Amino acid sequence: METLHCTTMHSTIGPLFLAASAQGLVALEFDARLPGQQSIRPNPRHLRNEKRGEKEGKGFKFEDSTRQMRSYVSELEEYFAGKRREFNFPLDLRGTDFQLACWRALLAIPYGETRTYAAIARAVGKPTAFRAVGMANNRNPIAIVVPCHRVIASDGTLCGYGGGLDVKRKLLQLEGALTRTLAA
């Protein structure tokens, strides 16, 4: 069973759960999950039996480790303070080939800019697969850093986000990406 170091940090959009392998960040999840939302974390009902800060779930053993997660937390704190536009820590993305292609396309969206689902579909060479792109975004395990919040509907409106549309709006405002049309 693989051990992932983890921590929960407080941010301007609420608590965030972070988990990392020896290769890099594996998960960044909103603490408050929407019903049916994917999570790397174990079922909360199983956490009643936790001991010594260790939890098990989904083939992972989680070890609370504030010290080993410090570099991730530090860069995220700088991002929320408006002092960081790019993250320098390594990522350990895990998914299907299509999901990985979509997540890499998300990583290519510059800070302060947005793209449509259709644009991401074209970027991954599947121009009619915008719904599949939406599903890949929904399965994105590393919110904020793999910036699925920067993807909007073709008509320019905000849609679909694991942290909720209010959080998506706050992240886009932080980055200066909201236009008058989106802010309305």
Say which DSSP state 176 is in. Answer: T
Respond yes or no: is residue 148 known to be catalytic.
yes
Alpha-carbon distance of 54 to 8, in angstroms, equals 14
CA atoms within 13 A on the CB side of 76: 26
The helix (H) or strand (E) run that includes residue 97 is helix 97-107
Q: Is the dihedral of CA 60, 139, 124, 116 positive or negative?
A: negative
Q: Report the catalytic residues.
A: 148
